[in-house]
A and B are shown apart, each in its own frame.
Chain A
């Protein structure tokens, strides 16, 4: 009997291998084609001078020349600085700051009110990006069309203007921040809701004010979710440029690093595409991407998630 079971087990085990491959094959192909291969291609391209003028045939290996070009470019420094400012400001004030504020506020007001506000904050995330950015363009538009000018500044007697052009850095931070905040909001809310009620009761019995509850009960327990959101969102902010592309297309000195790479390699007014140089710009982001994703692995309780499948014990 037991011998019979064992052979069956071995049999199932061997059969599993082939069947598992069948189940995984389609996804494997897509991942190879659109993740693994592109990483390799980006690396190769960055060591060539391939561009729309050399075509796909008459290009040369240039080694690290593209990277040297980036280092020596005066534009690189200003774009790096802009990118760092943009990422840091959005992260601190919105993805973490606003996310935390929203999570705390929406758990302290009535549940129905909390759900309502959380839903409203999710709207920008599900709204098509073009529509969302367009709303900001018209909020910030010059008189007489702009909403901000009409509602808040005219009554105060401040001269109307197109606010995106007047404060471009603030504009890209706001536009991205109002999408990004909801990510932290959700993560922090579920973390707060999983804090045992007893802890709050104990704090209340001890006479802790609401602020003290937040400071000494909630915040310490949010340490890991906070770190997770910081790592994960730094990664998305560094590499996402879609909103900026639609809002300013890099005008008013808002061409962040990722948008710079995109313009050089795929989309510019002159129709001159520097694939090699663009790939070098992108490769640096890919490198940061790999590093930060490896770090973010730490925050997905990896061990528990990759435990052996139960069906094993068949």
Chain B
């Protein structure tokens, strides 16, 4: 009897979970179904006459469009650039904050924490001016200025940096310093100790931060910043390309929109499944951005 009531509560709890999760489940179900359908009425794939059926691969024909590959490569360069930038720079800064004593260390740490909570998105307008100034610098301007992939990558890297530094400092803090001390007393330089002795010991942390940065770069950062600071369609990312598709007033081919959406989602899902455990750790370290 006791056992039975335990079971009914469990089932009731799962039911509540299913109900509140329903919009997410339905959303992804719709995405998957309409990708392979001529049209959909709700979740039902239909053919031209509005009857059940209409299976098709036509929605994936966008893969033959050279623009999508250009845009995919842009997004990849953008996300990888952010990943390399965030991991490398925060590994450097996090090490200094964890292991070195210098004047202003306290201040730097407090500032890092403050920036970590600070909503950088409010600075978008001012960043527009900074990018225009960078554009005016010869040579560098063409690479990292306004309306360049380098420029938006740089801005996004900066925005994710406080969190990265903070996490990296935490990883370094957990490494015992005996080996490093021995190396330093033997006259090894800090840079060498950092590269050869410490970094290999925090490989799992680096891996987690890298995947997190890539997912953020591929998804979250790849919309608003490129959308605001890049004009050319050939330089845009999948997110801005997709936004163009859904915000045009002419009739939208829903199936194709869904297919592009799923196309963009695939790498995220793969990484998410692969690294779910270590990602959870990062998310609880605090997430910036969208609510």
Contact = CB atoms under 8 A, between A and B. Distances in A.
A205 interface: no
Contact of B265 (A128, A145, A232, A294): A128
A129 B220 contact: yes
Interface string A118-162: 111111111111111011111100001111011100000000000
B184 interface: yes
A143 to B, nearest CB: 8
Interface string A14-44: 0111011111101110110111011111100
Contact-residue size bin, chain B (C-beta under 8 Å from the other chain)? 35 or more
Contact-residue size bin, chain A (C-beta under 8 Å from the other chain)? 35 or more
A308 interface: yes
Nearest to B282: A186
B9 interface: yes
B4 interface: no
B115 A309 contact: no
Contacts of A137: 246
Contacts, number: 337
Contacts of B194: 23
A109 B10 CA distance: 6
B90 interface: yes
Interface of A: 8, 12-13, 15-17, 19-24, 26-28, 30-31, 33-35, 37-42, 45, 90, 95, 98, 101-102, 105-106, 108-110, 113, 117-132, 134-139, 144-147, 149-151, 174, 176-180, 182-183, 186-187, 190, 210, 232-233, 235-243, 245-246, 249, 258, 261-262, 265-267, 275, 278-279, 282, 285-286, 289-290, 292-294, 296-297, 300, 302, 305-306, 308-312, 314
5 contacts: A34-B158, A45-B126, A122-B276, A139-B27, A236-B288
Interface of B: 9-10, 13-14, 16-17, 20-21, 23-28, 30-31, 34, 39-44, 50, 89-90, 92-93, 95-103, 105-106, 108-111, 113-115, 117-130, 154-155, 157-159, 161-162, 165, 177, 180-181, 184-185, 189-191, 194, 215, 218-220, 222-224, 228, 238-239, 242-243, 246-247, 254, 257-258, 261-262, 264-265, 268, 272, 276, 279-280, 283-284, 286-291
